[in-house]
Amino acid sequence: MLIYELHMADPIDKLAAQYFQLVELPNLALPPGSVLIQPAVQAALYERMFNENVFPIPPDSYRSRVLKEILSRIEESITDPEEDEINDDLMECWSTLVSQPKPSALQQAQQLSLVKYTAPLSSGTPSPRTVTISESRGLILSGGTTGNRTWEAALHLGSFLVSEAGEALVRGKRVIELGAGTGFLSLLCARHLGVRSVVVTDREPVLIDNIRDCVRHNLQGKESIPIYPAIWDWGTPLEKSGDLAGLISEGGETGLTFDIALGADLIYDTDLVPLLVSTVRDLFENYHIKEFIIAATLRNEDTFRTFLVACETNSFTVETLPFESTPSEDQTGFFHSTSIPIRTYRITRRQ
Ligand SMILES: C[S@@+](CC[C@H](N)C(=O)[O-])C[C@H]1O[C@@H](n2cnc3c(N)ncnc32)[C@H](O)[C@@H]1O
């Protein structure tokens, strides 16, 4: 017991990080009942997860599911009703949650929530690095876009970018992200990775409005972070107007110059491949990028082969970056499933 108390913060750290990312119950690192029964553990759970002062507060339906499981584990571990107790604050929170109206499964899936992603632990970063995003975790495809939630490939690429090798690729650089969806990677770059600037793009205006709105949750007391949201439909010119007008340019035909482009989960449909590859060529030729880093979930071999063949035809060199996914159970942040392999590639132009 004493030994556990000394290390008590560890499992709660991971559980709290998963909870604010709305990780589903079967994948939560919940301590066993023998640990949850301890008053100090219950008090910490309340303060860090269920107190109304925490930010952002997860949706009630999610909080209820998690708290129900915690309470049932505690109840099962009660051996001496005189001695063993359930924390009053947790019980009060439970009473409030059960009295709330229950949204339907569809309403829950569509609900826009603030999700806080915590980066994997790494040495040299004393406090956890977090990114807060507004998204519908349950939405796969809605309003003609798949960009309403943050995908596994983005969390994988984010895990790479917070590593020493990943950060070295973007620190001090002018970055552009395409097909950014919720903007997770760009917000990570702007908030924590010391980029000179990041232009975050998607073709869906509603997603760009959402990213613009999310910036304020990621300021960490600063007045601004170097992020520039812009609508960009591949195959059309990216205009230096709106939020991009403030970017300082260093020549180039379009007036927009970048060092590196990022993309996650953009190779999911064979029909999209020619447009994506011609957009990458456009980025090299007209926007002066030197490299494109793309993370792909390898759902369909044919789609991916089509992409590799198109890269070959366009004289690109594709290297696989030596960054393997951490198995889900060992992840310490940016939690995601690894049941379908995810790879990260560096694309450059053959000289
Ligand atoms: C599967 S989502 C990935 C979103 C984000 N990168 C992630 O991994 O979480 C694909 C994104 O690409 C965007 N997209 C698809 N076709 C596009 C196009 N022709 N021009 C610009 N964006 C496009 C979609 O709107 C969507 O946000």
CA 202 to ligand 1 center in whole angstroms: 6
Q: Tokens representing 121? A: 């632990």
CA 265 to ligand 1 center in whole angstroms: 7
Tell me the average pLDDT across 215-228: 95
| 112 vs 209, more confident | 209
Reported pTM:
0.93
How far is Cα of residue 100 from the mean position of the Cα atoms in its chain? Answer: 29
The per-residue pLDDT for range 14-25, each reduced to its tens digit, is 999 999 999 999
Please say whether the beta carbons of 282 and 288 come within 8 A.
no
CA distance 32 to 45: 13
The per-residue pLDDT for range 248-293, each reduced to its tens digit, is 766 554 579 999 999 999 998 999 999 999 999 999 999 999 999 9
The per-residue pLDDT for range 90-144, each reduced to its tens digit, is 999 999 999 998 888 888 777 889 999 999 987 667 788 999 999 987 767 776 7
Specify the CATH superfamily of domain 108-349: Vaccinia Virus protein VP39 (3.40.50.150)
Element (H, E) at 164: helix 164-170
% residues pLDDT > 90 (the chain): 77
* Ligand 1 atom showing the smallest separation from residue 150 Cα: 9
Domain boundaries, the chain: 2-102, 108-349
> Within 13 Å and on the Cβ side, how many CA atoms surround 68?
9
Residue 313: how many CB atoms within 10 A of its CB?
10
User: Which of 202, 233, 278 gets mutated to test ligand 1 (max ligand atoms within 8 A of its CB)?
Assistant: 202
Ligand 1: which residue has its CA nearest to atom 12? 179
* Ligand 1 atom showing the smallest separation from residue 234 Cα: 20
Verify whether ligand 1 is closer than 6 Å to residue 153 (CB atom).
yes
Q: Is the pLDDT of residue 4 over 50?
A: no
Verify whether ligand 1 is closer than 6 Å to residue 158 (CB atom).
no
Give 303's contacts (C-beta < 8 A, 6+ positions apart): 267, 268, 269, 270, 273
CA 321 to ligand 1 center in whole angstroms: 22
Question: In this structure, which long-range contacts are made by residues 162-171, counting pairs with CB atoms below 8 Å and at least 24 apart in sequence?
Answer: 162/119, 162/120, 162/122, 162/129, 162/188, 162/192, 162/193, 162/334, 163/122, 163/323, 164/122, 165/323, 166/323, 167/193, 167/194, 169/260, 169/291, 169/293, 170/194, 170/195, 170/260, 170/262, 171/195
